[in-house]
Amino acid sequence: MNIDIKVPDLGESISDVEVGEWFREVGERVEKDDPLVEIESEKATVEVPAPATGTVGSIIKSTGKPAKIGEVIGTLIVEEGVQAEPVTAESAQPVDAAPPAAQPSAPSPPSKAEAPRVMPAAQRMMEQHHVAAEKVQPTGPGQRVLKEDVARVLDQPVAPTSPPQQSGEGMGRTERVERMTLLRRTTAKRLVQAQHESAILTTFNEIDMHRVKSVRAELGKAFEAKYGVRLGFMSFFVRASCESLRDFPQINAYIQDDTIVFHDYCDVGVAIGGGKGLVVPILRNADQLSFAEIEKRIADFAKRANDSTLGVDELQGGTFTISNGGVYGSMLSTPIINPPQSGILGLHAIKDRAVVVGGEIVVRPVMYVALSYDHRIVDGREAVSFLKGIKERIEHPARLLLEV
């Protein structure tokens, strides 16, 4: 009996997807609930599990092909009488998510049949970068080697097993072509959209970080011991941004046709570099979160962004965005707003600089900050004052506690 493998419903706003990597080829057997194929949307990538135990009968939509929600992308051959369960958004797992928990049993050593199996995308990456198979630790279900496993090896200094023959020194003259992921293409499209449809302007300021650094040095260990998470700089900026957004609601609003929609809440997006590219998970009601809650959620976002296991709903919405290029060493940038939002705060590296304090030259840790805003809805006075409000709150952390 043949059953259809369909694209599951991934959310109200998602209709078009792209077929990612197939984990089984035609004629290969798959167990029920084992990951069968990746589906990439503009928000995230999920794994579609096999609805029943059987054999892959056909692959109608191969890797890289576009598809619609509910469209048949393959078939599964199952035995007569086997009951197949429909695949839903709840049963589809984020990429690299652990398989469903099995009943407890005594562990047994892997058999010869469980030898690592290299997925096609991983094989191509290994060949391109000359990575030996034995150097890659498989993490996929059924001892499968995923491209993410190869990427982890490439983050380490690995000597090529068979380097290409080159004349002289240098990088050589080879080229390679890699298809952009749907997530990357969607990000590019939205950035261009923002440039074309918004009147983007950026204003800058500098922040003396010495008081915040002193707070972290004095209370950081006690904070981590109590809450189980490190006290970072981001929680200070999230809280400061929420307070400034209350003072200047235009920056927490957006244009809809010929009206302005104001948000009476702060859903702050935090830009994070993940395994599939830049993602912006949302801190819902960030204005109501404590420092510890903010730090815990950001740490969780960062971990799951790296594993590509963020849910689609966690990446939707947002009223304001914070992007921290400083973690990569950026000194100054002009961030692009995430439409339809009207503002984005860019953070940068903290560097010791000579500044004048009370008529004397002293050395202070300074961060340059940037606010890009939509000039159609936000005037320069509001933008400059908003950024000044963040500066004053960060330079006097007690203001954040007293909400003044």
Active site residues: 375, 379
> Phi and psi at residue 32, in whole multiples of 5°?
-60, 135
3-state secondary structure string across 120-186: HHHHHHHHHHCCCHHHCCCCECCCEECHHHHHHHHCCCCCCCCCCCCCCCCCCCCCCCCCCCHHHHH
∠ CA 44-276-309, rounded to 5°: 50
Rounded Cα–Cα distance for residues 160 and 166 (Å): 14
Rounded Cα–Cα distance for residues 342 and 250 (Å): 8
Rounded Cα–Cα distance for residues 245 and 211 (Å): 23
Beta bridge mates, 46: 39, 94
- Burial classification of residue 339, based on how many CB atoms lie within 10 Å of its CB (0-12 exposed, 13-18 middle, 19 or more buried): middle
- Beta carbons within 8 Å of 221's beta carbon, 6+ residues apart: none
Rounded Cα–Cα distance for residues 305 and 299 (Å): 10
Asked if 307 and 96 touch (Cβ cutoff 8 Å), the reply is: yes
Amino acid at 301: F
> Phi and psi at residue 71, in whole multiples of 5°?
-75, 145
- Beta carbons within 8 Å of 191's beta carbon, 6+ residues apart: 336
- Beta carbons within 8 Å of 132's beta carbon, 6+ residues apart: 126, 161
Asked if 40 and 183 touch (Cβ cutoff 8 Å), the reply is: yes
Among candidate residues 69, 82, 63, the one with its CA nearest the CA of residue 2: 82
Amino acid at 43: K
Output the CA torsion sign for 274, 277, 283, 289.
positive
H or E stretch including 243?
helix 234-247
